[in-house]
Amino acid sequence: MSDQTTPRGTDALAERTAPSAAGTSGAGTSDAGTSGAGGGTQTDVGALPPGLRRGGPDIGDAPRAAEAEALRLLAEIGHAMAERVSLLGPSWAAAKYDQLAIGDDAVSSDADSASVREAVAAAGEEGARRVAANLAVLFAQDPEQQRSTPQQIIRTLGRELTEVLAASGVQPPQLDPFHRERFPDDPYGLASADLQSFGDDTLPALSLAFGVAKTRVVKARRHPAYGGEA
């Protein structure tokens, strides 16, 4: 699904955060969508917005200005994430249904029908609306008051699809014990810890930008010059 068109409102930020062809960064956190030493495509930190890159403006020069810029970027990131999820939700749900119900990984092929496909499409749309709304709530909070991350919220995109798959008689695949223990409400393996599993390169990059911008807000507020800056 990575060939989907980015919504107009996210063009500029997506271009600044999209992974480069080299994809060579090991400097993110696990919640930023980067993979560890085990391999996999990594998000390019060099593609972050200018204010978040290494070698960018020193917080010590103007911590309140750094805080304001990071907060502005967080709002932009939240809007871009919500739009991206809204675009990807329905097609992602259809692709997962094909994989689980009628594809090579299917355990049962008896659930394919027009009515089920309509329910799958509706589940993708409903899940995308719910996730986008929850992202809006998260990004409306002060960064230091946030108790979840965008990745944790996006990971729930398959909740409605799970209900449709179960009601349609699609048999859950064999999942590894670690996944079953970590995600007990995810019998179909839809709640991947890796945002790249949603078939989109923009979401991992935006997740990385979120983590860096939030850290910059906290660092700016903790800087000794923050309280005395005019």
Residue 31 lies in a domain: no
Q: 66 with 57: CB under 8 angstroms?
A: yes
Task: Kindly state the average pLDDT of the residues 165-185.
Answer: 90
Residue 59 lies in a domain: no
Residue 128 lies in a domain: yes
Residue 227 lies in a domain: no
Residue 137 lies in a domain: yes
Domain count, the chain: 1
Q: 168 with 97: CB under 8 angstroms?
A: no
pLDDT in the model for residue 187: 94
Domain span at residue 175 reads 78-199
Q: For the packed helices 63-97 and 159-167, what is the interaxial angle rounded to 10 degrees?
A: 10
| Helices then strands, each counted (H, E), the chain | 7, 0
Residue 57 lies in a domain: no
pLDDT in the model for residue 226: 87
Helix (H) or strand (E) holding 135: helix 114-140
- Alpha helices by DSSP H, listed for 39-62, are none
Among 1-5, 94-98, 112-116, 122-126, the range scoring the smallest mean pLDDT is 1-5
Residue 222 lies in a domain: no
How deeply is 52 buried, as exposed, middle or buried, from its count of CB atoms within 10 A (0-12, 13-18, 19+)?
buried
pTM to 2 decimals? 0.75
Instruction: For residue 31, report the phi and psi dihedrals to the nearest 5 degrees.
Output: -80, -10
The 10s digit of each residue's pLDDT in 116-143 is 899 999 999 999 999 999 999 999 999 9
Residue 37 lies in a domain: no
